[in-house]
Structure 1
Amino acid sequence: MATSISATGFQGGFCASSHGSWKSSMAGEDYTMLAKSVPTRVRVGRPVRSVPMMKNVNEGKGLFAPAVVVTRQIIGKKTFNQLRGKAIALHSQVITEFCKSIGADPKQRQGLIRLAKKNGERLGFLA
C-alpha cells in the first residue's frame, strides 16, 4: 500500500493518497470547485449597533395609562416628568416613614419601593 502526504500533512493509508482514494472518488470535481469557491480571507466589519429606542414599554398598558398619556399631552412632557418625579419622591418618603414606624430594615424598605415601582408599571402610572 502506497502512502503519501496529503494537503493536510497527514501521512497514512487510505485517506492520505489523492490518487484513486475514497476522497477523490466521492468528491471528485465538486471538491475542487468547493475549495476554489471558499474565500481565503473573510473581512469582518464593525458590529452594527442598534439605536436604543426611548419609547416607554408600558405605553397603553394598565388601568391608568390612558389618563397618564392624555395628561402628559396636555401639560407637556417636561412639566409632566417634573410632576411625576415629585410624586415618586413623595411616595418613597411615605414608604420610608412607614418602614421606620414598623421597624423594617433597609433591605425591606428597598423591597417595598421596588414593589411600588412594579405596581405602578402594572397599573399604568409609568406609561
Structure 2
Amino acid sequence: MNNPDWAVRIVAVPPGEAPLWVRQKWVGLDLPVRRYVAHRKSHAFGVLSRPHSWPAQWATIFRGQAALVAGYVVAAAPAVGILAKVSPEAAAWWRENMPHLIAPQRYLVFHEEVCRTADI
C-alpha cells in the first residue's frame, strides 16, 4: 500500500508520549500512508521512551516490552510538514524534541482506532 493517493484522516487524539496538546493537533489532518499494519501488527515504541540503538530496541522486543500496534505507518518528515500548516507550534515541538524521529526514512505509527481512510 504505497499508493501516494491513499491517506488516513486522524479522527481522534492519538495515544502516545508526546504532550497532549501536540497530539491534539493531529486531529483532522490527512496523512499519506506508507503501509497499513493490522493483520500483522508491528512493534512500536513511545517517542520519549524509545530505545535509541537497534540492539536496545531488539532487547526491548525480546523482553516483551514493545507494544504491538495495529495502525497506519506514515513517513514522519512529511507528516510533520502537514502538521506545521495547521500548528507551527506542534510541528516545532517535534523538530525541537524529536529531530531524530523526523529524519528521512523514519516513520510514525498512528493507531488504527484513531484513523479513517481518506483520499488525497
- Work out whether the TM-score is over 0.5: no
Q: TM-score, normalised by structure 2?
A: 0.21
State the TM-score, normalized to the length of structure 1: 0.20
Give the structure with higher Rg (CA).
Answer: 1
